Structure 1
Amino acid sequence: MKSISVNDLAALAPEVPIIDVREAEEYNEANVPGTRNLPLSRLSHSLGDIPIGRAVYVMCASGGRSVRATAHLVEQGYDAVNVLGGITEWYRNGHPVSYGPVLYRRGSD
């Protein structure tokens, strides 16, 4: 499984698609700007929302769910990359985080 550190991902963002697989309540509490929330519990039903033909970066709170989601996406033929340490590591390394509910995010592919 391909993985990337939060610092290496920060150097690529916001030009790359980042999927956050935490549940909506967690995502609304704090999220990485520009990410798209596709909870792991509904990921199989959301495959049509994932860009095809380019790498997608998968994160969660600390890395457990993103490993499962990345493995599932790779099995489905996606070029998925696990984000090591998730949003927790992202925050610890000083990268931007948005707080509060996200009511509607347009064009965040």
Structure 2
Amino acid sequence: MKEIHATELAEKLKYNEKVNIIDVREDEEVAQGVIPGAKQIRLGEVPERLNELNKEEHYYIVCRSGGRSGRATEYLEANGYDATNMEGGMLAWEDETEIPK
């Protein structure tokens, strides 16, 4: 499984690289703040929402500490998607967040 550190992903955002971030946390966790531009797909919803993802794109998967996102990354890879787990999750994220609407 591919992994990226939170600081590396933050650098990509700072340099305006096109990144697709999927946040697999629950609503109450997401309400505390998300990485700007991240799309929420709860871990339990990933299988039924695969149609929202494009196999031609790369996805960075995020959760609170890296465990759930690791499971989601493995699932996506097993289904032919290009995905990378953000190790340490939001606990390791030191850059700005936004509160989802």
Instruction: Name the TM-score, length of structure 1 as normaliser.
Output: 0.83
Q: Aligned-pair distance for 1:12?
A: 1.5
Percent identity of paired positions between Structure 1 and Structure 2: 38
Matched, 1:10 2:6: no
Q: Aligned-pair distance for 1:47?
A: 0.6
From 7, 20, 26, the equivalent of 2:23 is: 20
Matched, 1:84 2:91: no
Counterpart of 2:46 in structure 1 is 43
Matched, 1:97 2:97: yes
Unpaired runs of 5+ in structure 2? Answer: none
Deviations 1:15-35 (A, max 9, x none): 200000001221122211110
Aligned length: 98
Instruction: Name the TM-score, length of structure 2 as normaliser.
Output: 0.89
Q: Which ranges of 4 or more aligned residues in structure 1 deviate by more than 2 Å?
A: none
Deviates more, 1:42-51 or 1:72-81: 42-51
Unpaired runs of 5+ in structure 1? Answer: 104-109
Deviations 1:28-53 (A, max 9, x none): 22211110000001111111112321
